[in-house]
Structure formats: structure tokens, C-alpha cells
């Protein structure tokens, strides 16, 4: 570690990589795989047309196992949020404070995510947001949102 660096940069230099999603099944793996091309896809029931997230095998509305993957518009609004002031993992130490949010997309699904380029004092309910991606050093792309 370089002791000549300011404390914040020292923390970044020593920080481990951010943890990645660890999909528990093939349908969740498919969701993350589709994010890697810079688009956001959700499942849509072929029986009743209901969009859904988190990924799962059956429609919660009608019980049908028949679905397709459809691209989201990436447009939504802030449904809920919190400002994170304490890093619970060292990889996030240089990011605090940051905004963790639930975004409600135009398709009706809600997604836990992070707001970028949004000072904590600017967040409000129904704030219009648009999809972006955080690119990790190993090429992994994480969907995030920014104010419109």
C-alpha cells in the first residue's frame, strides 16, 4: 500500500473487488447474462402478459410456467430509497455515502438497485430515473439508475 496516497485513495487501493451476484438457478443466471450486453430484460408471462422480477419459473398472477424475456424501456421512478453511510463491505468504502433504491419501471416491476450521479439530498419519491450500467474492472456490468 502506498502511504503517500490520501486516505480515500488508500482505501480504494486496498479494497477488494465488489461482490458479484451469485445466481441460484438458471433463470436468475439468464437475467444477469442478459444485463451484460447493456440492456435490461425481464420475464413476461405469455399467458396473462404480466411482467415479473425477481426471475422465477411461474407467473405469480396466473401460475403459468410459459414466459418470454422482453427488453425493458429502462425508464422508471424512485419507489423507495435509503442513503448508505456505512460500508458493510470494504469494497464499498470509497463509495459512501451512496443511494440504494427500489426503482419502479414502466413495465410495472420493481427492482433493487443503486442511484448514481444523484446526491442524497436530491432523491425524492417518483423521481424519474433511467437505466445505466456500472462497469466493473473485470467486464461485469451491473444495472444502476441515474436521474433523467
Residues of the shown chain interacting with Zn ion in the complex, contacts defined by CB under 5 A = 45, 47-48, 50, 59, 61-62, 64
Nearer to Zn ion, 48 or 112 (CB): 48
| Minimum CB–partner distance for residue 66 and Zn ion (Å) | 8
User: Which candidate, 51, 70, 48, places its Cα nearest to that of 111?
Assistant: 51
| Minimum CB–partner distance for residue 75 and Zn ion (Å) | 23
Nearer to Zn ion, 101 or 105 (CB): 105
| Minimum CB–partner distance for residue 40 and Zn ion (Å) | 20
Nearer to Zn ion, 50 or 75 (CB): 50
Dihedral sign for Cα 46, 40, 32, 19, please: negative
Residue 113: phi and psi, rounded to 5, are -160, -165
Strand order in the sheet with 41-45: 51-52, 41-45, 67-71
Amino acid at each position: 500500500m502506498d502511504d503517500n496516497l490520501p486516505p480515500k485513495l488508500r482505501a480504494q487501493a486496498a479494497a477488494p473487488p465488489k461482490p458479484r451476484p451469485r445466481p441460484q438457478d438458471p433463470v436468475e443466471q439468464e437475467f444477469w447474462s442478459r444485463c451484460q450486453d447493456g440492456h435490461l430484460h425481464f420475464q413476461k408471462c405469455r399467458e396473462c402478459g404480466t411482467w415479473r422480477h425477481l426471475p422465477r419459473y411461474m407467473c405469480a398472477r396466473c401460475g403459468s410456467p410459459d414466459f418470454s424475456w422482453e427488453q425493458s424501456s429502462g425508464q422508471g421512478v424512485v419507489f423507495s430509497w435509503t442513503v448508505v453511510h456505512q460500508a458493510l463491505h470494504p469494497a464499498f468504502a470509497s463509495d459512501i455515502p451512496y443511494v440504494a433504491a427500489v426503482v419502479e419501471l414502466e413495465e410495472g416491476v420493481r427492482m433493487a438497485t443503486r442511484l448514481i450521479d444523484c446526491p442524497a439530498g436530491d432523491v425524492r419519491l417518483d423521481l424519474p430515473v433511467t437505466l445505466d450500467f456500472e462497469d466493473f474492472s473485470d467486464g461485469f456490468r451491473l444495472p444502476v439508475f441515474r436521474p433523467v
